[in-house]
Structure 1
Amino acid sequence: MQSERPHAGQAPPTVQSPCIRQEFSFRPVPVSVVTKLLRKQKMKYQSGPDQIPAMLLKISAPAIANPVATLINESLATGYIPKLWKTARVVPIHKSGDSTLVSNYRPISLLPVMSKVLEKCVYTQLRDYYQYWNYLTPDQSGFRPNHSTTTALLKVCNDIQAGMEQGNLTGAIFLDFAKAFDTVDHGILLEKLKNSGIGDRTLTWFQSYVSDRSQYVSISGSSSFPLPVTCGVPQGSILGPLLFTIFINDLPNVCKASTVHMYADDTVIYTSKPNLPQLEAVLQEQFTEVEKWIKSNKLFLNTDKTVTMLFGTAPKLHKLQNPHLCVGTISNGTLTTVTSLKYLGMWLDPNLSFGPHIEKLSSKLYPKLGALYRNKSCLSPAVRKQIVQQMLMPAIDYGDVVYAAAPQTHLHKLTTLYNSFCRFALQCNYMTHHCDMLKQLNWPSLESRRTLHLSSLVFKSISGSCHPT
């Protein structure tokens, strides 16, 4: 993909945070920290390109921590990373469908365990530095402590709901980056690291980190020849997600007339206006600026999958003759407008009724419940209860604080589904009252579960262990 990378006519926009007053440099890593990291390794025989399994490092942690700490500190001091630590073994895992199609495989990148220990030391120092200076944009929820997809969904949905309450229409553009992590330009990334306060001496280490990397494919005992990796952040790495966050940290700065929210590369741009012409004008202007930013940063936007969506109350949308957004691209195309969209695992609809989400959730879980019923003779009561709690309920619990305000007609469908779970766990008939089932199982009602999850989220937000939306 490197050969297809666009050439920008101007330098990419970068941001020097005014709050940063101290240059970042590495601190020596104590042996105690290295010992702790080695002991945290999983008991796995699987190894990376260096053929050293994590289990071996874990067991021998007390004996090797001192020399490993010396190697790590030498790397940080000299700005050099051994080439073997920058080699990835890619194992293709078949997802589904035709096994002869490459698109039906998911690549799993395995890096040397030693490189991950080194990266963890760097990640901790770099993360603490950015947190101390409050450098990362609050519009990014991915790969950050006290953030989650739920907090991101709450932020976006609350803003849209606020627009509805003011009688406005809200237009949103959901961006689809093509292989965003794999197309990060190393030169631009290093420039952005420098602008974020990374000193020249420390920047040498990051330059060594992203350069001279390679990967090979390993399958069925055979391995390909290694090929160079000339762009992108390393997949399966510790530092990769944070570096990507830094790379797109300045994207919200080009959208001064709208709101941007990101979860990793899942990005949505939205704004609220009293009428459709004003809304389209602002979104068009903002999207043009975003396309310029994408081009100058040498990323790729999949315009076929980048879509728009119009939100508003049912009466407000009903008054429109053509309730669609018209947003054009630089290449003279037009973005598709949709009436239902899956965003961060939740289906959104124009009225934020969450009806489509609940319908799709029910359609997904009822067949699974049917399959379990067909095998009920093989399952003990304890196993049936555990299956419901660990395999079925997480799907209902996900995002329940977001869709809690859905109309009761929709929420009742989930209550019926929940009662079916209870009947399966207890193997009782349809005449058994749901209150009796919940009492016997010692489970709360679905409404109580949502209240509990919301209360927990509010408490975490107040106590500082969750990002306030």
Structure 2
Amino acid sequence: MLQTISPDLLPFITTVINGSLTSGHVQTVFKKARVIPILKTPALDPSDISNYRPASLLSFLSKILERVVCNQLSDYLLQNNLHDPNQSDTTASARISACLVDISSWMTAHQLKLNPNKTELLIIPGDPSAAQDLVISLSNSMISPSATARNLGVTMDNHLSFSSHVTNVTRSCQFLLYNIRRIRPFLSTQATQVLVQSLVISRLDYCNSLLAGLPLSAIHPLQMIQNAAAPLVFNLPKFSHTTPLLRSLHWLPVAARIRFKTLMLAYKAKNGPAPSYLKALVTPRTAPRSLRSTSTARLVPPSLREKGRYTSRLFSVLAPRRWNELPLGIRTAESLTVFKRQLKTYLFLKYLH
């Protein structure tokens, strides 16, 4: 886009963009947006309002925080016995359908609508050989199981391999890097770093704790994205040696970033301020005698009896193992800030020595 602008304006525009990226401040004039509804696909009927998607022409996105809390919905789950593990596909199908009718009625009463066309059914079986014949009904529509479903920007699959999610993140990051590379001649190193971190690295970090416990081969595409991003910041060839670049940028590799997120959650679960459901997943190890020398700040390791398809990737299993591997000085950090700083230093030495 910058290539089409008059050369006389480029220095001014470049200065404004670099200054905005460096300072983190966006001028008021750039915060104004025109919201124009556009067709989801050109072939759709323009007279049908449901075929439109609102699109903002705002260059810099602003935050909109939204949270909906409703205890009534959880009551419907209990009323329809969805927590009962001993039920056939037929029974489960009927109970889920009945629960959705209750939820749909509640939404209608509150001027909301449960859209069958945007409702997906994802079955994650504990036994890989289990049948997936479950079909539910909603507003005269039959909903069959999907191989994947998207939730809050994360693509879940029925094997919890997150392969589709990794593919989607990789593809979107490649597109972003391509666009940043096109305007790289007009950006300073510092502005490029801010741009790459905010658009690309943030995507690699988003919900990355879900990837904990996966083999390195599964997250390799994400590491390749980071390996391409680092040389771009310094305007170097794509295949430059990345380790010294990562050190210079203070970027932990992807595997270390995932471990960092898991251990940060473990610290919060052990010491606060994690939510209660997360605290319940870890148990501090208590010494038989209250002696200073026996206070090791460890977590109770998972039971060897725990077996299952996804057991090794459970937070309740993975967090104590990773936590107990940390040096004593990090486990006994007096605050989250100190723990975060020491943990990052520890992981830098471990992964980028």
TM-score normalised by structure 1 residue count = 0.43
Q: In the alignment, does 2:330 pair up with 1:381?
A: no
- Return the alpha-carbon distance in structure 1 between the equivalents of residues 235 and 200 of structure 2: 16
Structure 2 counterpart of 1:461, from 265, 269, 276:
269
Structure 1 contact 280–325 (Cα < 8 Å) conserved: yes
Is 1:366 matched up with 2:190? Answer: no
- Go from structure 1 to structure 2 and tell me whether the alpha carbon gap of 1:385 and 1:335 turns closer, same or farther (over 3 Å shift): same
Question: Structure 2 vs 1, CA of residues 399 and 95 (structure 1 numbering), >3 Å: closer, same or farther?
Answer: farther
Task: Give the match for residue 343 of structure 1.
Answer: 151
Answer yes or no: is the 8 Å Cα contact 2:134–2:145 preserved in 1: yes
Query: Looking at both structures, which has the greater relative contact order when contacts are Cα pairs under 8 Å and sequence separation is at least 6?
Result: 1
Partner of 2:248: 440
CA contact (8 A) 2:157 2:164 kept: yes
2:135 partner letter: C
Could you list the per-position Cα deviations for residues 5-43 of structure 1 after superposition, in whole angstroms to 9, with x for gaps in the alignment?
xxxxxxxxxxxxxxxxxxxxxxxxxxxxxxxxxxxxxxx
| 2:74 aligned partner, one-letter code | P
Aligned partners of 2:115, 2:92: CA distance in 1, in Å? 21
Other structure's SS at 1:288 match: helix
How far the C-alpha of 1:415 sits from its partner, in A, is 0.6
Residues 216 and 255 of structure 2 are in contact (CA less than 8 Å); yes or no, is this contact kept in structure 1?
Answer: no
**SS of residue paired to 1:334:** strand
> TM-score normalized by structure 2?
0.56
Shift in Å, 1:324: 3.9
Q: Structure 2: which 5+ runs fail to align? A: 1-26, 57-63, 279-353
State yes or no: 1:94 paired with 2:36.
yes
Is 1:278 paired with 2:88? yes
Is 1:410 the counterpart of 2:218? The answer is yes
Match of 2:233 among 419, 422, 425: 425
Number of equivalent positions:
230
State the distance in 2 between where 1:106 and 1:423 align. 33
By how many angstroms is 1:315 displaced?
A: 4.0
Matched, 1:391 2:202: no
Tell me the distance in 2 between the aligned counterparts of 1:424 and 1:272.
51
CA positional deviation for 1:440: 2.7
Instruction: Please tell me whether residue 306 in structure 1 is matched to residue 110 in structure 2.
Output: no
Match of 2:161 in 1: 353
2:82 and 2:160 mapped to 1: Cα distance? 20
Q: Distance in 2 between matches of 1:364 and 1:45?
A: 28
Please give the root-mean-square deviation of Cα atoms over the aligned residues, in Å.
3.4
Which residue, out of 71, 82, 98, partners 1:258? 82
How do residues 40-55 of structure 1 correspond to structure 2 at under 5 angstroms? none
CA distance in 2, matches of 1:344, 1:358: 15
After the TM superposition, which residues 25-44 of structure 1 pair with which residues of structure 2 at under 5 Å, given as runs?
A: none
Task: Please list, as runs of the form range in 1=range in 2, the aligned pairs for 1:140-151 lying within 5 A after superposition.
Answer: none
- C-alpha displacement of 1:288: 0.4
The answer to whether the 8 Å contact 1:327/1:334 transfers is: yes
**Number of the residue aligned with 2:332:** none
Displacement of 1:282: 2.2
Q: Whose strand proportion is higher, 1 or 2?
A: 1
Aligned pair partner of 1:295 in 105, 109, 112: 105
Q: How does 1:132-171 map to 2 (within 5 A)?
A: none
Structure 1 alignment gaps of length 5 or more: 1-43, 47-90, 108-235, 260-270
Amino acid at match of 2:254: L
Which whole-Å CA distance do the structure 1 matches of 2:187 and 2:236 have between them?
15
